[in-house]
Amino acid sequence: MQTAVALESHAAIRSSWARYIIDRNPFFLLSAVCMLVGCVVLNSALYTPAGNVGKLLALLGVINLYEAALIGLGGIFIHRSRPVGRDGVLLLTFEGLFLADSTFVAGVISTIDVNWGWAVNAALIALAAIKLAVVLRAMGVPQPWRLGLLIVAQVALALVVPTVFKGIADQHHGSLLPIAPYIAWWVAGLVPVLAVVLLGRPADARLGSGYARAAAIGLLLR
């Protein structure tokens, strides 16, 4: 009798763990974390101050392919019945981690060659606008251009600041002007003001469920 009860208890525990994995699906998060860690490790291994950015550009291309897979798979999932739709929102939220150069590839390119840095930043900002248009549309965000413009501004700030600092340092024999970080902080401090201008106060805004979902992307970038 005790053996039967123990077997039933063991089976119930296994069933609960299986149900948890099916419902929560932690493998999407594990995939994103592994991609981030792998890119950071490769970024450190490929860094060379000699000015060779070819391998880093290849790594950046792989990252964008991974982002395209996240957006495509998330868009497919989000338009299907639950609980798959929740997985789609999760995938699209992970995309926010890569939009802001969390792997530091663009920042490293800027420190190697400032001209390449500006070119890469311009391309990444343009791609970010396209990606956000697809993501926000898939999430059903009302007036997506408002939130999209706010997130693009944050992405641009995260990408441009290292390049600007590199340019200043090159013109001053490798030294950064003390006032430069303060100016950067003041510019970053204007982002909440831009948010109020574009989105309004929460009490005044008519927020849909899609907006609430997409807000996680903006929070990841701050």
What is the tens place of the pLDDT at every residue in 120-167? 999 999 999 999 888 888 777 777 888 888 889 989 998 999 899 988
- Who's near 165: CB < 8 A, 6+ residues apart? 176, 180, 184
pLDDT in the model for residue 15: 58
Residue 47: the pLDDT is: 72
Contact between 221 and 100 under an 8 Å Cβ cutoff? The reply is yes
Q: Is 221:154 a contact under the CB 8 Å cutoff?
A: yes
The C-alpha atoms of residue 116 and residue 60 are separated, in whole angstroms, by 13
**pLDDT value, residue 50:** 60
pLDDT reported for residue 105: 87
pTM of the model: 0.74
pLDDT at 124: 93
In three-state secondary structure terms, 48 is: coil
**What does the pLDDT read at residue 16?**
64
Low-confidence stretches of the chain (pLDDT beneath 50): 1-2, 4-7, 10-12, 203-222
The pLDDT value given to residue 206: 46
Residue 35: what pLDDT? 83
